[in-house]
């Protein structure tokens, strides 16, 4: 049956303005409540009715073909998501989603995620370093964070053995789209802040895609597909440089990085980016103001993320301190065929591994995510992954308001430690990940002087004595990179 005419116009107007929503996990480190209920109640022509929530899970009809999606899971003993009829998140022993535990993990990581977001957007104009976990050309001792690093963390914290933590399957989970809309938003914010940054240099594709081979060179080349009378070599090149299979028009023109440069091309923007009637400098200044208000406010009420300034009584954000402490993590993906976590702590980890990911003294969880299904055949590609977890929020929450090196280094030597964990909640023996190298750096910071400016960041100093003698830590006498 159709809706009554009086309601039809209202719903049609809503459909015309519908856009994919984004989930700002830096501000709201819990899953949106709309994705957590298996059943929702909607108005129908016959009244209110309960229906399966399309944002809770996706039901396969049929299951993905085995030749396209081989049977992989979170581990050799964990759930094999390829066989599940519907998508799941952090599955329990009965392969049911556990939204409450997911939210506990996200909340435990919330302060770290917010600090990571702010420091990345405010001090990284280099696109290669900003964009991905493998880029190492010019990545100095402090620049281990990236948008991919944060993106991977959300995949793992939400999925944790379910579809979101298995990359080839992750887009079947409806929350994937809320997550990726926010990742797109963060990239658009970065573009607005750094309008002169160059992301047109070529790089080697580490894994490739279903249409592009691994090991080929990617750039912003504007050549398009199809081409006239191509030979085999030119066809291969043009197909790779285009963003296959996405068409920009009905004639078959394929999008490229050059033509997809701006969200304006697609007719949308984000609340923080009012990119009309302003020049690039004004837009950058405006977006900086919005980022400061969102992720580094003068005052904050988060219990885990504040410190009282003794002289003024003003609560200070971890991102507003004169020194910044960070844990850098370097590991080779080839050490493990399955995804895993590196959980960082101040003090001892809980005895029960099932509580590791949301322990009260958790500093943050670094995610090493599974990409084993992607095409890597016969290609020499970098396997070293770089990641970073900030420490200030945890130090301040534990009552350590004096962040000077004379106070913090001895503290970290005695209390800073980590545990490795598979996505089935089992501990992972650190000896199985011999490439793991964790080290601590400190950085002087000059706080911002106005709302439309960012802090000024000094050089990083490595403190090997914090991790020397600890399994998986950077040892004294060993180079950082």
The length of the chain, given as a count of residues? 481
Q: Please report the DSSP string for 30-92 in residue order.
A: S--GGGT-SEEEEEETTEEEEEE-TTT--B-SSPPPTTTS----SSSSS--GGG-SB--SS--
Instruction: Name the burial class of residue 307, with classes exposed (0-12), middle (13-18) and buried (19+) by CB atoms within 10 angstroms of its CB.
Output: buried
Please name the residues in contact with 275: beta carbons below 8 A apart, sequence gap of 6 or more: 192, 264, 269, 283
- pTM for this entry: 0.88
160: left (phi over 0), alpha (psi -120 to 50) or beta: left
Burial 225-253 (b: 16+ CB within 10 A, else e): beeeeeeeeeeebbbbbbbbeeebeeeee
| CA dist., res. 475 & res. 477, Å (int) | 6
Q: HSE of 313 in the Cβ direction (CA atoms, 13 Å)?
A: 0
Each of the 481 residues of the chain gets a pLDDT tens digit; together they read 577 887 888 888 888 888 889 999 999 999 999 999 999 999 888 889 999 999 999 999 888 776 666 555 444 445 678 789 999 999 999 999 999 999 999 999 999 999 999 999 999 998 888 988 887 766 677 789 999 999 999 999 999 999 999 888 899 999 999 999 999 999 999 999 999 886 655 666 666 666 666 666 666 653 433 333 333 433 333 334 567 788 889 998 888 877 888 898 898 999 999 988 899 999 999 999 999 999 998 643 343 434 444 444 445 678 778 999 999 999 998 888 789 999 999 999 999 999 999 999 999 999 998 655 444 445 556 678 999 999 999 999 999 999 999 999 999 999 999 999 999 899 999 999 999 999 999 999 998 989 999 999 999 999 999 999 999 999 987 777 6
Q: Which two tokens stand for residue 269?
A: 């923007």
Q: What radius of gyration, in Å, describes the C-alpha atoms of the chain?
A: 23
């Amino acid at each position: 049956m159709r809706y009554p005419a009086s309601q039809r116009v209202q719903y049609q107007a809503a459909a015309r303005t519908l856009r994919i929503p984004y989930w700002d996990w830096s501000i709201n480190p819990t899953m949106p409540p709309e994705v957590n209920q298996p059943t929702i109640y909607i108005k129908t022509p016959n009244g209110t009715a309960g229906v399966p929530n399309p944002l809770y899970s996706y039901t396969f009809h049929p299951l993905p073909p085995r030749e396209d999606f081989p049977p992989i899971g979170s581990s050799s003993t964990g759930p094999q998501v390829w066989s599940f009829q519907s998508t799941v998140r952090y599955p329990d022993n009965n392969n049911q989603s556990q939204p409450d535990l997911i939210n506990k993990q996200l909340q435990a990581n919330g302060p770290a995620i917010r600090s990571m977001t702010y420091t990345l957007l405010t001090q990284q104009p280099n696109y290669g370093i900003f964009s991905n976990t493998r880029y190492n050309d010019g990545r100095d001792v402090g620049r281990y964070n990236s948008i991919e690093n944060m993106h991977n963390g959300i995949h793992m914290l939400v999925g944790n053995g379910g579809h979101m933590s298995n990359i080839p399957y992750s887009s079947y989970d409806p929350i994937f789209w809320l997550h990726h809309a926010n990742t797109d938003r963060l990239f658009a914010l970065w573009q607005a802040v750094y309008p002169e940054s160059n992301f047109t240099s070529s790089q080697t594709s580490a894994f490739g895609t279903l249409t592009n081979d691994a090991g080929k060179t990617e750039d912003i080349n504007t050549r398009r597909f199809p081409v006239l009378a191509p030979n085999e070599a030119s066809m291969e090149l043009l197909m790779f440089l285009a963003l296959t299979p996405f068409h920009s028009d009905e004639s078959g023109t394929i999008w490229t990085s050059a033509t997809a440069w701006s969200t304006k091309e697609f007719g949308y923007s984000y609340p923080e980016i009012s990119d009309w009637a302003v020049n690039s400098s004004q837009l950058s200044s405006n977006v900086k103001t919005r980022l400061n208000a969102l992720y580094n406010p003068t005052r904050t009420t988060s219990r885990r993320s504040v410190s009282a300034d003794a002289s003024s009584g003003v609560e200070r954000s971890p991102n507003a301190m004169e020194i910044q402490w960070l844990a850098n993590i370097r590991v080779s993906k080839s050490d493990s065929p399955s995804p895993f976590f590196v959980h960082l702590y101040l003090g001892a980890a809980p005895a029960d591994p099932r509580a590791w990911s949301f322990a009260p003294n958790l500093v943050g969880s670094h995610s090493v995510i599974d990409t084993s299904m992607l095409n890597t055949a016969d290609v020499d590609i970098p396997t070293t992954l770089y990641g970073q977890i900030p420490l200030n929020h945890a130090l301040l929450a534990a009552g350590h308001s004096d962040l000077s090196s004379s106070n913090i280094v001895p503290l970290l030597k005695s209390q800073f430690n980590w545990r490795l964990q598979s996505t089935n909640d089992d501990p992972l023996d650190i000896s199985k990940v011999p490439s793991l190298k964790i080290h601590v750096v400190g950085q002087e910071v000059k706080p911002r002087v106005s709302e439309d400016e960012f802090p000024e960041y000094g050089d990083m100093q490595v403190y090997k004595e914090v991790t020397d003698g600890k399994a998986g830590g950077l040892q004294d006498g060993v180079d950082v990179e």
